[in-house]
A and B are shown apart, each in its own frame.
Chain A
């Protein structure tokens, strides 16, 4: 039972113009403490939906119709909205694919990180400012005071992604869900962000659920991986084992790309 997060047979339905249908038909995975687990799948396989289900932030048209999401022994699907709100950010936080749109364009980066700390903690104004600066430094932004004063559009893509990570780790969460954190970055920046995630896991002792389609990143970073194919997890296990010995046809396709 030292698994931090345990998703059992998650099923998500969507109701739209095409009628009700099952989008996720059974996701099983476990994220252990201080582990980086990758959830791999093609576009439209439902990986982002699975990620959002954990925080119960699905769009109105989608609903979870089965399964369990156990986080530290509690089933998140049975939590009240109030409990979920307290848990978000504090225990589980999220890094989004496109930090430009995940930051509010009308406020500075500093203010947006500040806001999270101000809302969740009882720190004084000065203490929060210090913490924000320290957070930005810890994600490798060397000039925190200037970054704090910048608006999202004034930063480069890599810096924005780092700032996003800084916001995500602000409250020392136990789990970070990273939704394609590297797919909009060039290769050198990808390497830096991968390095950053590794550092976070080792220093802050967080677990990371990495949602991605990039097998290169998975091979570099993930301890374990789950392969999502048309809404189902078809394979789950240590990354090395799966990459060396793929059992499902889709997995072997993915592995082929790597070589």
Chain B
């Protein structure tokens, strides 16, 4: 009994410490984005980091099991979801904006990936909705959080697959963002999921894990983002004539036609 309460006290202590560390990391990242002028390239990301910092400062004095914490947590959580969507969309707008040739294709891909990810995420909510918990409002918030974070994780996966398939030149910072978002949203999704299915008993250890992941992702951003990482190496080619393009397509056609003939004989 004594051992159990001691470990609970240790967890609360560790959680408090991690909250402090993550607040410091948010502050360091905001300063870095500001000082190195990276905020101009990623304005939503900068405002997201700033908002997280302010939220962490406001929430810091309150223990997580107090009602006042809940009153502050829920509305700010809703704002955070909006930021999550904005920072991810901002990233892919930046990646695709300089390539006029695939403007429509890019829109189709983003729209298709968004629709598919939301659909898959909603279809996977059954276990989250099936458990009955003492605080329905909190449960609803966590179920919505799970839906949003898993949608974003799937969306990131689909868009990354598109970027692998299409040789869009990427800066190092964009790759860093994509990797860190993937780790973060996947961890967040799993945290929400376990919380929804297992109930509030697991909140303390889950919070520790989530805080640890948050600190690691913040450290990754602090260390890996840089003004030099904004540079993109691309090959510059002369504008190809329409005949060139038609010949390319005709050649692909003729290979296909010959193969199809071989297949039908």
- Bind each other: no
User: Measuring CB to CB, which residues of chain B are less than 8 angstroms from any residue of chain A?
Assistant: none
User: Measuring CB to CB, which residues of chain A are less than 8 angstroms from any residue of chain B?
Assistant: none
